[in-house]
Amino acid sequence: MGNRVGAIIPAAGSGVRMGTDIKKQYLILKDKPVIQHTIEKIGKNQNIQQVVVVCDQASIMQVEKHIISKLKDDVKSKVMLVLGGNTRTASVFNGVKALANHTDYVMIHDGVRPLIDEGVIASVIKEVVDKKAIIVGKKATDTIKIVKNNCVDKTIDRRKIWHAETPQCFEYLLIKDCLEKSFLVDHVFTDEASILEYFGYDVYIIENQQINLKITHPSDLEHARYIVDKRGYV
């Protein structure tokens, strides 16, 4: 490809929805912490030169000792740990600032999406060269309702609805500039694509037909373990 790609893996979340003492990114899936699988998937891509894992203060030393140290050398050599911020946006920005200045593109992938298909990673990196901002997602199959005070207000045409996922990939200077500006506005952003949308940039989407489960609740981990046991690999 010839372009320099840096990856950010946000893993500083509290994981309160999981309801366990251990944060969701460190729970075990097929003999390894969830986030280790994610790092290995991202780090194996030959177009990715850097992998920045963003951790909370309480976990960063343990991640270094029990996860990073166990990676294969070709992946370990790409990885660096960075302290997260008070929000996802702040954590991602810390990760972007840690990348080399000559980075061309930034790929952001949730630490709790360990089942991401390696072909999808490659596709996103390929598409970002022309699109400048590209994400993956799945078309909605359920009927989507707008609800107010537990009463259905209206039904949305699901043909217009996509479930956004990660990875999300952006031109380096574009995402860095938008992240910087995001701290000056009173708005909550739940993913990086929505920041670019807010500032008027086009964000393109490609359909991901592969399994890309986000481990957020206990049932998600059970589902992931079932999938891994069924197919024999993460």
Q: What is the CA radius of gyration of the chain?
A: 18
Asked whether residue 157 is assigned to any structural domain, the reply reads no
Instruction: Establish whether the linkage from the previous residue to 33 is cis, with ω within 30° of 0.
Output: no
Task: Please check whether residue 150 lies inside any domain of the structure.
Answer: no
Q: Give the largest CA-CA distance in the chain.
A: 55
Per the structure, how many domains does the chain have?
1
Q: What is the pLDDT of residues 149-208, one digit of tens each?
A: 999 999 999 999 999 999 999 999 999 999 999 999 999 999 999 999 999 999 999 999
Domain membership of residue 154 (yes or no) is no
Q: Considering the entire predicted model, what is its pTM? A: 0.95
Instruction: Note whether residue 156 is domain-resident.
Output: no
- pLDDT per residue as tens digits for the range 48-62: 999 999 999 999 999
Residue 121: give the domain boundaries.
5-138+166-231
Beta bridge partners of 162: 139
Distance, in Å, from the CA atom of 119 to the CA atom of 59, rounded to the nearest integer, reads: 30
Helix (H, G, I), strand (E, B) or coil at 175: helix
Q: Which CATH number is 64's domain given?
A: 3.90.550.10
Average pLDDT over residues 72-90: 97
Residue 152 lies inside a defined structural domain of this protein: no
Instruction: Please report, for residues 132, 148, 193, 194, 195, the alpha-carbon distance to residue 201 in angstroms, rounded to integers and kept in the order given.
Output: 10, 30, 9, 10, 9
Residue 36 lies in a domain: yes
Residue closest to 7 by CA, chosen among 90, 80, 94, 107: 107
